[in-house]
Amino acid sequence: MEFKVRTASGEDIEKMLQLYISFMRNFVGSAARTSKSFARMLRKKDNINYVALDTQDRIVGYVHSTFEKRNKTGEFREIIVDPKHDFEQVAGLLIEKVNADFKKRKVAAIIAASLRNPAYERIFPKLGFMESESMGVFMYAILDSQKILNELQPVFAARLKRSEDWNGLAQIQCDEHSLFLEKTTERVQQIVWTNQPVDFKVMVSGANLVKLIFGVEDALECRKNGQLKTETTVSEAKAVKLLERLFPRNQFLTMDFW
């Protein structure tokens, strides 16, 4: 499919917001943005923002970048692509446009903070970027298990939804708190409390949940060495698939910082 790229405008705010929310359902991070957030982003003169359109002029991706005059530095802040489309193809077009603008402004350095997005790591090395080890450390601690489970609910729901060959009640228990998700053919919904038997239960500590969320640890290895426990009514093969769905290794953290 062919795509075209143009500068983002105020008329794109709502569509960009919906695209962001749709994209974020698949990954770990905050989707706590509003139309005002995007309005501020588009207002700032030093921001460079483009949208990618399909053949029907629907927005399928956008890039948000900034230009720091004092240091003459360009930075890619965010690249969002509709999950139904090829990330590399759409993102590549957006990056090319921003790169051209950076060159016009004669930037001294360009930064692409991937936050461990594996897709970034396929795209930017082709453009001459190299990884800085000093930016490769991220520390995170869980202080409120129930709160983090509630925040992760859309992420786990989206992952379970892709398990088309399984329906049932799943429970993710972190320390003394739990998240219950009921999956049917039509939807996945959170259950506040139920006396129904659980079909698939995961028990993990807060420390290990962090490692699994950020892809530092492998869920199957954690279960093998006792750091993660499961109780299930499904077969071993099905249990393995569900664990891999809930805790994929190729994932990344996204953060709101503009």
* Beta pairing, strands 4-7 & 47-53: antiparallel
The answer to whether residue 67 is domain-embedded is yes
Above 50 in pLDDT, residue 162? Answer: yes
- Kind and range of the H or E run holding 96: helix 87-104
Q: How far apart are CA 243 and CA 218, in angstroms?
A: 10
pLDDT tens for each residue of 169-205: 999 999 889 999 999 999 999 998 778 899 999 999 9
Q: Comparing 24-38, 79-93, 97-111, 124-138, which segment has the lowest mean pLDDT?
A: 124-138
Amino acid identity, residue 201?
K
The whole-number pLDDT of residue 21 equals 85
Res 134 pLDDT > 70:
no
pLDDT beyond 70 at 138:
no
Q: Are residues 220 and 162 in the same domain?
A: yes
Per-chain mean pLDDT for the chain: 85
**Residue pair 8/49 in contact by the 8 Å Cβ criterion:** yes
Structural domain harbouring 80: 4-137
Note whether 167 and 234 are same-domain residues: yes
What pLDDT does residue 258 have? 44
What digits encode the pLDDT tens for the residues 216-241? 789 999 999 999 999 999 999 999 99
What sign for the dihedral angle of Cα 214, 218, 224, 225?
A: negative
**Is residue 226 included in any domain, yes or no?**
yes
| CATH code of 90's domain | 3.40.630.30
How would DSSP label each residue in 181-224? EEE-SS-EEEES---SPPSEEEEE-HHHHHHHHTTSS-HHHHHH
Please tell me the predicted confidence (pLDDT) of residue 204.
95
- Give phi and psi for 188, each to the nearest 5: -125, 125
Q: Would you say 153 and 179 are in contact if contact means Cβ atoms under 8 Å apart?
A: yes
Asked whether residue 108 falls in the same domain as residue 207, the answer is no
Q: How far apart are CA 15 and CA 82, in angstroms?
A: 11
| Main-chain dihedrals φ then ψ at residue 165, nearest 5 degrees | -95, 15
pLDDT given for residue 29 in this prediction: 58
Mean pLDDT of 7-23: 92
Q: Which residues pair with 48 in a beta bridge?
A: 65
In a domain, 177, yes or no: yes
pTM above 0.75, yes or no: no
Q: What is the pLDDT of residues 41-83, one digit of tens each?
A: 999 989 999 999 999 999 999 999 999 888 888 888 889 999 8
What is the Cα–Cα distance from 187 to 167, expressed in whole angstroms?
Answer: 10
Q: What is the tally of helices (H) and strands (E) in the chain?
A: 8, 12
Which of 161, 118, 145 minimizes the C-alpha distance to 26? 161
Per cent of the chain over pLDDT 90 is 48
**What's residue 6's pLDDT?**
96
Q: Quote the DSSP letter at residue 126.
A: G
Coil, helix or strand at residue 36: helix
Based on the domain organization, do 58 and 183 belong to the same domain? no
Domains identified in the chain, total number? 2
